[in-house]
Structure 1
Amino acid sequence: MNDQDKIEKVTVNVGIVDLGQMDLLVDQAFYSNRTDFIRTAIRNQLEAHRKDIQDYVTRKITAVGVVIYDRHDLEMLRESKTKIEIRLIGQLVFAKDVDVELVRDTVKHIQHFGVIKASKEVKEVIKEIQTLG
């Protein structure tokens, strides 16, 4: 993916006083241009709300049927610092390549009605998670 694929153009209506203040800051070399000002403002706001965003990132999955997690799935969650909540009626499968630490790092809560297919160690961790949740 090139840099252009990572950018989305957004149009924003800005009041004339705000625009004038932005231009003043650009003129005084606080920012190189309006775009620099806007990008900096966005980054600052995202940083200010980091915890709110992270809390929301805890995803809730609801399913009926068979749900399978393998090492790749859970490592992607770990890399994005995301913990999931699993709500499932049916069969929950953790592949043989999934270890205990990976489950602890990526699963926040499990509410499950049905069959769990996993290694003995992973099943023990699942019981802990269900008890804590």
Structure 2
Amino acid sequence: MDGKERIMPKVQELRPRIADSEKITINLGHVDLGQIDLLVQEGFYANRTDFIRTAIRNQLSRHEDAMRKTVERREIELGVRRYSRADLQAAQASGERLAIQVLGLAVIADDVSPELAVETIASLEVLGALQAPAAVKTALRDRIR
């Protein structure tokens, strides 16, 4: 080397990163929006998003006990649940059909074929977000609630 530092190329992640949030759109009246802007200007919140996120968390906190009981009663998986091709092939081998219920994020791996999904997933209810190949979503459209 000629005394210069060697620059290493950036290494890309092998596993795609899953977004930790989902964008939503809401409509607010002008007065409500103005009140939020006033609170932001006065320093109560960093921005509109901070206010809205805080308001949502406060409401969710008020209903926490009821949600916990409902999740337990309905046997819903909470958080992020990934379904790999190996998971579905194992269900297929055992003759099992999955009734998937997730509150949070359900991820069906990119290498899962629509045929495998149809054969192994009896129903799919996601309260939150579903990430799956477009062809898999299309194949399961009559089973998604």
**TM-score (structure 2 length as normaliser):** 0.46
Counterpart among 123, 128, 132 of residue 142 in structure 2: 128
Whose helix proportion is higher, 1 or 2? 1
| Contact 1:61 1:86 survives alignment (8 Å) | no
CA distance in 1, matches of 2:108, 2:125: 15
Identity %: 28
- The answer for the alignment partner of 2:133 in structure 1 is 119
- The answer for the alignment partner of 1:93 in structure 2 is 107
- The answer for the alignment partner of 2:41 in structure 1 is none
| Contact 1:61 1:84 survives alignment (8 Å) | no
CA distance in 1, matches of 2:119, 2:103: 23
CA distance in 1, matches of 2:133, 2:103: 20
Q: Does 1:106 align with 2:102?
A: no
Structure 2, unmatched stretches of 5+, are 1-73
CA distance in 2, matches of 1:91, 1:97: 18
Listed one character per residue, the Cα deviations across residues 61-80 of structure 1 (whole Å, up to 9, x for unaligned) are 63011000111000000000
Whose strand proportion is higher, 1 or 2? 1
CA shift for structure 1 position 123: 1.4
Instruction: For 1:1-133, list aligned pairs within 5 A.
Output: 62-130=76-144
**TM-score (structure 1 length as normaliser):** 0.50
CA distance in 1, matches of 2:116, 2:101: 19
Q: Which amino acid is the alignment partner of residue 113 of structure 1? A: L
Listed one character per residue, the Cα deviations across residues 64-103 of structure 1 (whole Å, up to 9, x for unaligned) are 1100011100000000000010111110101111010111
Q: Which amino acid is the alignment partner of residue 72 of structure 1? A: A
Residue 101 of structure 2 aligns to a residue whose secondary structure is: strand
Q: CA RMSD in A?
A: 1.7
Quick one: structure 1 residues 90 and 99, their matched pair in 2 at CA, closer, same or farther if it must change by over 3 Å? same
